[in-house]
Amino acid sequence: MTIDRNKISIRNNLSPGDLGCVVALHGKVYGEEYGFPIGFEVYVMQSVIEFFGQYDPEKDRIWVVEYEGEMIGFLSLMHRPRNQAQLRYFILIKEFRGIGIGKKLMQEWMDFYHKKKYKSAYLFTTSGLDPAISLYVRNGFEKVSEAMTTNFGFPMLEILYRLE
């Protein structure tokens, strides 16, 4: 697939259908690439409902990445108690990785984080996502803990990263 960079756009507003696409992207990407079962998609669905229920455009930010009008990626900054931010839903379909979109999204996430003067941030990820983890570490996130879980119906290593 030849990618025309001029057809890639990023927007910061939610439109009808976006949340369902976020869930579908996670189910498809993690299922196809990492073998995650449907339980992971259900988890994302439940957490997206939580996200939208507390969504405040003054404190939260989303990045919807589209190619020719179709969602190909997503990222959010979600406000949390004690002036913390959570990085969530960072996803980009395989064909669009390695061309700088992830770095751009991470930079915009960090810019918004600093603009809103959050005290700290955190994210949860899993082993095997080395390019994303490398991006988090380059932006100051540090591994705090890791634990084997079966939260999604199969054993996996869940890792917590923090930015202070």
pTM of the shown model: 0.94
Sketch the domain layout of the chain as residue ranges: 5-119
- Candidates 59, 73, 68, 91; CA nearest to 3 is 68
C-beta of residue 72 within 8 angstroms of C-beta of residue 92 = yes
For 23, phi and psi rounded to 5 degrees?
Answer: -65, -45
C-beta of residue 23 within 8 angstroms of C-beta of residue 44 = yes
Q: What's the distance, Cα to Cα, between the start and end of the chain in Å?
A: 40
Per-residue burial over 48-68, b if 16 or more Cβ lie within 10 Å, else e, is beebeeebeeebbbbbbbbbe
Domain 5-119's class? alpha beta
Structure tokens at 148: 């084997």
Structure tokens at 77: 């900054």
Tens digit of pLDDT for each residue in 8-65? 999 999 999 999 999 999 999 999 998 898 988 999 999 999 999 999 999 999 999 9
Tens digit of pLDDT for each residue in 109-147? 999 999 999 999 999 999 888 899 999 999 999 999 999
Question: What are 162's strand-pairing partners?
Answer: 122, 142
Residue 11: strand, helix, or coil: strand
